[in-house]
Structure 1
């Protein structure tokens, strides 16, 4: 198998992972800024492939046109329009990268067919995600549709991470993880479950915030907290359990590996992400829900799961795990 072709596949895969996370961040910015209906139609935006920059470029009766399509009170806002349009461009670019990754994965057809089929699955899912994005617009931003759209992004990035990690099994297999006990993997699995639970609670909080924001017509952010549901306080308190669980994991990694080890460095990244997520959450809670903190908080949650997932897969491919399997 051509080493350069394998290297190109891995580079494309890493670029795709970055792009998917960029899509998640862009989606968070759209949601936090209330720009979800900045483009009331799909795939065009106000009937154009490149949206207008001024209301004068739209038909004089565009309000009535979109009201007849079910989008009442449509008002052109260039900032919101271009925010949503940028989100769509990033999504389209990500789709193209997934296509390139799927094409590059054909080199594994003889050596490791699952990598090829996983890449095709990712391509199918990114297409489904694009359709789901259009459905979100068609639903006039129904909260459950937005949540489903976000969870699908989480699934896509997990599959891409697994695909790329599988392509590096030989390299990961050189790492000796024999000093880690089976208990570590169990706690790591539990930590991943905690993260997913936290994300699920976060989506419920986010849906509640969307409703509260609508009630306040997206102003007076400092008063939104007064109407938060009980799930918000559970979500907030649960973050401390997640932090201490992952600190235990990193402590064990530090005992098992030297400073340059990939898994230990991954652990340090994990803790940095969790602390950043907590800081962003505190900022949202105490500083009147600043829009900039919302997409950061969302992105950190997705990155935390991605890093935990990579750590779990990498350890399963390490020397100690391979010896236990065979």
Structure 2
């Protein structure tokens, strides 16, 4: 079974590796990073789709599906489980969604491994040390462990949330690896842009963690209106149960069912902190737009930020439709990607002025 899974991961990775090999780019290593970055972004979005369709336990074991390499081979076990519970968590469709997610993850692992091997093999002639691709390789291994625990620990919220944050860290580091292979000219920086861009990234990652906590606790519909929450500007809050981290899905630390007020708290904190994100990222965009070299990138951050607001509100008024929810998760990943690019450009500039 493990051999079949490994072969499947290699076959899925063969297509992006072929793109790199056939590329006319003179820097094929940079092309490999770009393709890996693209596939990692897709994996994050598909991971959101997997989570939002409740397919995380579509195959209740790991790394295979009922001890098999694919749902075809486990068809009888899946159908037996589906006959007992027709809506899941195990159905044939959900099993395929979960396994496709794992296959893509394995292919990303192959690509990152290739990056590390090439970086060490060519370390004497490369501009940078192989430490970053090595760190990426280690992070991918850790991410794989959290992928396993997501299944074996039955979607425990803290495990799933960390799994999401690690994916975004990998995305950000891939951006950094790709950007440093691309030469840029130095340019003048608006005042305080170095500091505010770092703060913006920290604030964004905190908001992503809060959003992941909403999703993994199934609290997206705890408030059914906006800007009020169930008709209240500040609803009854239950912080103690809402942010008890090490607990089962849907349970309190004592093993009781989590109260609705805790779910409301999780939802309300995420939507309230969004205003902090808008202010900090808005200031970052305004400062970055003052530099011609960063204007296009800043406009992209501003556009995605505005779309995030619309998709966030739409998920409430349209009762969390799947397409909008996936787009909301994709928007968060896009913001991390663009802010990572902005932070790199700011820090790679050799010249800074204070206006």
Aligned pairs for 1:69-84 (under 5 A) are 76-84=90-98
Please give the TM-score of this superposition, normalised by the length of structure 1.
Answer: 0.79
C-alpha distance in 1 between matches for 2:79 and 2:102: 26
Q: Secondary structure at the match of 2:61?
A: coil
C-alpha distance in 2 between matches for 1:188 and 1:303: 16
Distance 1:179 1:129, change over 3 A: closer
Distance 1:8 1:105, change over 3 A: same
Partner deviation per Cα, 1:116-160 (whole Å, 9 max, x = no partner): 121122112212212221121111111111111111112212222
Match of 2:35 in 1: 15
C-alpha distance in 2 between matches for 1:48 and 1:266: 45
Match of 2:246 in 1: none
- Structure 1 residue ranges without an equivalent (≥5): 68-72, 216-224
- Structure 2 residue ranges without an equivalent (≥5): 1-23, 223-248, 251-259
Please give the TM-score of this superposition, normalised by the length of structure 2.
Answer: 0.73
Q: Is the 8 A contact 2:146 2:163 kept in 1?
A: yes
Distance 1:297 1:212, change over 3 A: closer
Q: 2:137 aligned with 1:123, yes or no?
A: yes
Match of 2:228 in 1: none
C-alpha distance in 2 between matches for 1:290 and 1:87: 21
Aligned pairs for 1:1-326 (under 5 A) are 7-52=27-72, 57-58=75-76, 63=81, 76-106=90-120, 109-110=123-124, 115-168=129-182, 171-172=183-184, 174-176=185-187, 178-181=188-191, 183-209=192-218, 228-257=263-292, 261=293, 263-321=294-352
C-alpha distance in 1 between matches for 2:76 and 2:138: 35
Distance 1:74 1:238, change over 3 A: closer
Greater relative contact order (Cα < 8 A, sep 6+): 1
Match of 1:70 in 2: none
| Alpha-carbon shift at residue 192 of structure 1 (Å) | 1.4
C-alpha distance in 2 between matches for 1:303 and 1:147: 18
Distance 1:317 1:75, change over 3 A: closer
Q: Is the 8 A contact 1:208 1:229 kept in 2?
A: no
C-alpha distance in 2 between matches for 1:166 and 1:229: 43
Distance 1:74 1:201, change over 3 A: closer
C-alpha distance in 1 between matches for 2:62 and 2:172: 27
C-alpha distance in 1 between matches for 2:270 and 2:79: 45
Match of 2:257 in 1: none
Match of 1:220 in 2: none
- How many residues are aligned here? 294
Larger helix proportion, structure 1 or 2?
Answer: 1
| Alpha-carbon shift at residue 282 of structure 1 (Å) | 0.8
What do you get for the CA RMSD once the two structures are aligned?
A: 3.3
Q: Is the 8 A contact 2:143 2:166 kept in 1?
A: yes
| Alpha-carbon shift at residue 74 of structure 1 (Å) | 7.0
